[in-house]
Structure 1
Amino acid sequence: MFIRLDLSCSSCRQPRLLDGAYQCTLTAGSLDEACGQLLCYSCSRAHSSATSHPCFRVVGLDSRVMAGVIDCPHRCGANLTPANYMKHARSCKLRELMCPMSMCRQKPFFWNTLASHLIDHHGFFSENTTYEGYKEDIPLIRCGTGVVLEGQEEYFVFFIAETGLYFIWLGDAKAKPDLPSFMLKVYLHQAGPDGGPREELGHYLSPHPARVMDVIHLCVISRVTNVNITQQSFYLRVLIEDRA
């Protein structure tokens, strides 16, 4: 029989007790309500610093956690085990997302509405991908905008921030349950001076990204300074293929 668990830390309310539950040693005889609550590691450290009360890990709960069933934190109705909780939480189609663009930070968005927001509000270039061969000469335009490649019930987003190239996968992982990751190879180019050959500024070849909604730093644009990057135009050469 499985035990249904609430993994929320009593202090930060984030589902972090999967990594261990901690409790203050002064669970009785204290005037602080937090002394009797289950805390995550970070909050237990903060509690100890604020009260001078040491905290300990409640190791007796570890076996119960591993044998338990956890509700999806985004309320999609999925029953999760500790083994698949974190991956599902990062790829759930009902996860609310914040716009990653500097000076915007609007929220909340779902995966499909965030893609539309980047295209309509931030001027991201949009194009389809067929999962076959390289797509050449994709205009990245400049810092502050980017590219959205639309696949099958998923989007592949590329953008430049400061002096780095970043990537986000947006989609419903349940649409491809047998394909948890995909091959991604990216080359970043800039037109050479006076119309000369394009110069490669950076690339990303591995590892294969998982279908989870996180920001991935692909490469550093080492030869372009943060001062003049907003004046530059860039191009991408991208290969995306499904891999089991």
Structure 2
Amino acid sequence: MQEAEYATMFGSEEHHWWYLGLHDQLQQAFARCRGLAAGPGRVLDAGCGTGKVLEILRDVAPVGLDLSATALALARRRGPFALTQASATTLPFAAASFDVAVSLDVLANVPPAEVPAAFRELFRVLAPGGALILNLVAFEALYSEHDRAVGVVKRYRIGEVRRLLAAAGFTLDICSYSNTILFPIAALVRLWRKRPRPGGRPPVSDLAPLPGPVNAVLAGIRRLENNMIVRHGFALPFGLSIFVLARKPVADNLQSA
């Protein structure tokens, strides 16, 4: 990710409809994790960025991990969280250290050849019965200036994600596309912005502020979709993102050591 984008992210996470919707989706999924036998008392945000998820889940004292020193410095401004600088592909934690692992729009920034290792690592550090809350950007055809700005290497299809999770040992509770209602408009914008910026100027993300009423409507649409996906179990057929709640089986003999 370009360094300037971390500051943009830090501010946008407070009010931008994209983040409001994603964080609502996280909170709904996390509420489902309250049913875990172990309880979601040990939480890892693998790719915590500027720390907004840590702030949202502060009541369970989450652990944040990110490869970027810039991101971690901004995360420290949100509170005295436990932070570690490391890659999601080699997590510096013992097996079965966490009840819930969160990975929101992180693994798309990892080279595809390393993504299976990242899923295996997330599986390893979860306790049996633990949960993974995952979000990934969808559809490679939509790769645009925004992706270049925030460091995305690859956009995924849901079948690929299912196979990667199964290969790592996970079972699926929720696996759906999201950002479906807004997909046609957003897709047109992304396709328009596929071209490099004139004059060789560095790419910028789509996180520019919107008028308050527009932002509120878009966030409301996201919350409606979140209810459909997380609370009611609908699997939507396409969207800008892929949202997953996956479980590590209780009877685990695969990679717990």
Q: When the two structures are superposed, what TM-score results if normalisation uses the length of structure 2?
A: 0.21
* Larger fraction in strand: 1
Structure showing greater radius of gyration is 1
Greater relative contact order (CA < 8 Å, ≥ 6 in sequence): 2
* Larger fraction in helix: 2
